[in-house]
């Protein structure tokens, strides 16, 4: 049983998708003010598309946002663009505009081979796409335009930017707390303008903003650095210069699409049940070394990018080597080193997984990788399986029956022997 879309997202107002929505909306608000447009505008989030603009109750534009840093060809985005065109066709306005927003230039966008560029516009500013590191500056430019038009001082730019990010983060979290059928996806432009106007009166940026912004940036940096390290070790190149399609890069792109990084971090550390209230927990539990060794190296050795999948909070690898019902593997940082010698320690680790109600429903039906040991001797797959079965499953209604623990070491050996994760 999966969580679907019921997990409460964290840092939605701080990720690339959220900030690009804010940028486009602010740009449109400034245009509306200039044109003295009296129509009623709103933005719809996470329903038909990443976001949609609605004008007088009718769809005006559909927007797909992709933060891929390793894709620079139009055909890499064909699925996203098919989705865009489908949702427009199914809407009340089949003539609405469609925008693809990307973080890296698409080199062949204007090629005659690109059949999408006649119906989909590539979102740009000053004839350039807006990169992950550039979006904040672009938002601040639009805030500055708004303040100037309203005869306000530009001293309020930083406060307005911070309040917009926190506002979006909060409103999406509230949205996801609602039952799926009762969820309100729409934010009116008047509410956003009201938020900006209220922020102007504030003198300081809230400490909450600085913490969330820095944590999010740190997480993103670690995710990218870990892959870059792998690229340098395996292919003697950087992520930026690598044109190879591989499962590790596919995994990176799936991670970039995750909404709830808190949930993702919990999945990577399934035996950890406490101390998640502190937002710095992400900093402590997403180390570069483990991201590289336990996620990217595993995926790279699988040699099957088409079998790497993801959702709002996790990363998965479809594999015949999984004996779980879903036939998919969740890479984790679960370290059984302490349990390699002490049976009691091993049981405690397993019991923590069973009692981890935050993620047990996501784990159910899947295999999860474990680090079998190191300094105190490695556990075999048979020992891991035996110890897991000796745990107390009754406390979670037998979920354990649908969860397999699989040695990452032995899994990599199977990939090597089989030439990858092939059927």
Task: Report d(CA 173, CA 182) in Å as an integer.
Answer: 14
Instruction: Looking at the structure, tell me whether residues 186 and 107 fall in a common domain.
Output: yes
Confidence (pLDDT) at 126: 94
pLDDT score of 400? 59
> What pLDDT was estimated at residue 386?
79
Token duo for residue 9 = 């997202």
The reply to whether 395 falls in a domain is yes
pLDDT at position 96 is 96
Q: For position 166, what pLDDT does the model report?
A: 92
| Residue among 236, 230, 381, 234 at smallest CA distance from 295 | 230
Number of domains in the chain: 2
In whole angstroms, give the CA distance from residue 23 to residue 26: 5
Beta strands across the sheet bearing 186-188 = 121-122, 97-102, 58-66, 51-55, 41-45, 186-188
1 lies in some domain: no
The pLDDT, as a whole number, for residue 4 is 36
Same domain flag for 245 and 183: no
Rounded to a whole number of angstroms, the distance between the first and last alpha carbons of the chain is: 26
Q: Are residues 290 and 397 in the same domain?
A: yes
Nearest to residue 255, comparing CAs of 326, 202, 216, 311?
311
What's the confidence (pLDDT) of residue 8? 39
Q: Using the structure block, give the residue that is written with the tokens 């989909």.
A: 120
Q: What is the pLDDT of residue 338?
A: 65
Q: Is residue 9 part of a domain?
A: no
Cβ count near 376 (within 10 Å): 14
- Whole-angstrom distance, CA of residue 373 vs CA of residue 339: 8
Domain end (from 200, 221, 247): 200
245 and 385 part of one domain: yes
Say whether both 314 and 229 belong to one domain. yes
Global confidence as pTM: 0.81
**Domain membership flag for residue 126:** yes
The answer to whether position 423 is within a domain reads no
Q: Are residues 143 and 231 in the same domain?
A: no
Is residue 110 in some structural domain?
yes
Task: Tell me which of 173, 200, 227 is where a domain ends.
Answer: 200
Compute the CA torsion angle 32, 37, 43, 49 (nearest 10 deg): -90
Quick one: 66 and 126 in the same domain?
A: yes
DSSP H stretches of helix in 236-296: 247-256, 261-268, 281-285, 288-290
Q: Give the pLDDT means over successive 10-residue stretches in the chain (423 positions).
A: 38 82 97 95 85 95 88 91 95 95 94 96 96 93 96 93 92 71 81 95 89 86 94 90 88 86 92 83 90 97 95 92 95 82 78 88 92 69 80 54 88 94 92
414 occurs within a structural domain = yes
2 in a structural domain? no
State residue 375's pLDDT score: 44
User: How many Cβ atoms sit within 10 Å of the Cβ of residue 17?
Assistant: 22
Q: How many CA atoms lie within 13 A of 202 on its CB side?
A: 16
Do residue 349 and residue 327 come from a single domain? yes
Question: Quick one: 213 and 137 in the same domain?
Answer: no
Q: What angle do CA 21, 27, 33 make, to 5 degrees?
A: 130
Sort 276 into a burial class: Cβ within 10 Å, 0-12 / 13-18 / 19+.
middle
Torsion-angle region of 11 (φ positive above 0: left; ψ -120 to 50: alpha; else: beta): left
State which residues form the domain around 139: 16-200
Structure tokens at 187: 């934010």
């Amino acid at each position: 049983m999966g969580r679907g879309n019921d997990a409460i997202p964290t840092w939605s107002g701080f990720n690339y998708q959220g900030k690009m929505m804010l940028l486009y909306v602010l740009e449109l608000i400034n245009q509306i003010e200039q044109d003295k447009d009296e129509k009623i505008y709103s933005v719809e989030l996470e329903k038909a598309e990443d976001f949609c603009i609605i004008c007088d109750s009718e769809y005006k534009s559909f927007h797909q946002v992709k933060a891929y840093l390793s894709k620079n060809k139009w055909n890499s985005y064909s699925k996203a663009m098919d989705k865009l065109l489908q949702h427009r066709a199914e809407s009340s306005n089949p003539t609405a505009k469609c925008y693809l927003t990307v973080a890296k230039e698409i080199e062949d966008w204007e090629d005659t081979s690109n059949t999408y560029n006649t119906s989909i516009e590539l979102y740009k500013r000053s004839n350039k796409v807006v990169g992950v590191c550039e979006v904040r500056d672009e938002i601040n430019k639009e805030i500055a335009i708004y303040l100037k038009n309203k005869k306000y001082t530009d001293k309020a730019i930083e406060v307005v930017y911070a309040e917009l990010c926190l506002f979006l983060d909060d409103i999406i979290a509230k949205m996801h707390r609602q039952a799926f059928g009762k969820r309100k996806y729409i934010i009116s432009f008047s509410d956003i303008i009201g938020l900006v106007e209220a922020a102007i009166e504030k003198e300081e940026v809230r400490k909450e903003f600085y913490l969330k912004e820095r944590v999010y940036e740190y997480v993103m940096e670690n995710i990218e650095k870990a892959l870059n390290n792998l690229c340098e070790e395996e292919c003697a190149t950087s992520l930026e210069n690598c044109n190879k399609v591989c499962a590790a890069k596919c995994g990176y792109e799936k991670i970039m699409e995750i909404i709830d990084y808190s949930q993702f971090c919990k999945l990577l550390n399934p035996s950890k049940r406490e101390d998640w209230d502190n937002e710095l927990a992400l900093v402590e539990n997403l180390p570069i070394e483990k991201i590289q060794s336990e996620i990217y190296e595993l995926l790279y050795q699988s040699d099957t990018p088409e079998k790497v999948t993801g959702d709002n909070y996790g990363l998965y690898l479809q594999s015949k080597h999984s004996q779980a019902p879903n036939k998919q593997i969740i890479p984790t940082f679960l370290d059984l080193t302490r349990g390699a010698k002490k049976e009691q320690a091993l049981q405690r680790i397993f019991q923590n997984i069973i009692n981890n109600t935050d993620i047990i429903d996501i784990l159910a039906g899947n295999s999860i990788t474990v680090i079998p040991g190191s300094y105190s001797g490695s556990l075999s797959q048979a020992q891991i399986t035996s110890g897991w079965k000796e745990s107390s499953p009754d406390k979670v209604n037998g979920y354990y029956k649908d969860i397999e623990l699989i040695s990452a070491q032995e899994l990599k050996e199977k990939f090597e022997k089989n030439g990858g994760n092939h059927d």
